[in-house]
Structure 1
């Protein structure tokens, strides 16, 4: 891992999170360097240090993901490439990113009308991440601030190592 990657903290903060209305996600780059946020559904956006991107997602959304891309370069039409988390060479993602990328996953208004979220390393690790709800009385967030896959002893490493943290909203 390069020293640059160690400085990243990519934050996801949910604001209006109800079972019958859309959810609002504020995606903030707390890194000192630029990242290119990506979301399916949602698209993508370049975020300089301290910038926030807000996306609204419909109630009932399943299997959704948000992640950070690093080392990106795009032309004026939104075509290019990212070193991590690339989604088919597009700034405005239409499909999930290519590993490695740290994932925030969520599903809205699912089993028993509950919303669920987690941070996963199923596609590897590229940036530390924080996912913190701010509505409906839920104040417990989750974080993945270290490359736990990279810290595994060699005899325990495997391709596709997986860290899964789930929290009910």
Structure 2
């Protein structure tokens, strides 16, 4: 999705996850509409000098948190689930979306798949803001991005608001206490070119939909 860069805000929702952009710099508001605590995480793309003040935090059900990013920021946001701190080592980890930092702040670590990702490029080509919700690394939470206050461009709400964990094919499903908590991509599970769109399947003409990609 693309929008004109004079957005007032993005509203980024987890279960649903909502995000808001306000002028310069941009402002994101993450709202937890889930029934359990989530731990949002933020990763700036390589080459971005200015970064948000936070890279991860806890967000209880029904609460929201707002932070700013630089005018031309690009990066991704996602939600971590089923997180805890080891009573012996003090290390913090999450069952889904973990960033490998052993702390609530991700500090430059990316999401371990499977995780639903919201990707942003602000003030990009033509001065537009671009955003999408991606399941290329699998899925762990419903997510919705709502752009507020934009003018021009295609400022459409976008995301995946369906709970895919329960219906996830058994060979892709991540479980905890016999309950589906995430859904891996077929590429991650099988590593075969036809599922990864690699090798002889690296073009749109040769990488055809599979039953797994059609599920997503």
TM-score, length-normalised on structure 2?
0.61
| Residues 109-145 of structure 1, C-alpha deviations (whole Å, 9 max, x = no match) | 1111111000001111000001001122475211202
Tell me which residue corresponds to 1:69: 80
1:13 to 3, 12, 19: 19
Which structure has the bigger radius of gyration? 2
CA 1:55–1:29 in 2, change beyond 3 Å: closer, same or farther? same
Q: Which of 145, 148, 152 is the matching residue for 1:134? A: 148
Distance 2:38 2:29 in 1: 15
TM-score by length of 1: 0.76
What secondary structure, in the 3-state scheme, does the structure 2 residue paired with 1:71 have? strand
Residue in structure 2 matching 1:143, options 151, 159, 165: 159
Matched pairs, number? 148
Which ranges of 4 or more aligned residues in structure 1 deviate by more than 6 Å? Answer: 75-78
Which whole-Å deviations, capped at 9, do the CAs of 1:138-168 have from their partners, x for residues lacking one? 75211202339936xx9xx8325798xxxxx
Partner deviation per Cα, 1:19-72 (whole Å, 9 max, x = no partner): xx211000010011111111114411111001111121101112x011010010
RMSD, matched Cα? 2.9
Question: How far does residue 12 in structure 1 lie from its aligned partner after superposition?
Answer: 2.2
Gaps of 5+ in 1: 1-7, 164-169
1:158 to 173, 186, 209: 186
* Counterpart Cα distance in 1 of 2:86 and 2:59: 16
Which of these residues, 81, 95, 108, is aligned with residue 93 of structure 2? 81
Partner residue of 2:104?
91
Distance 1:69 1:78, change over 3 A: farther
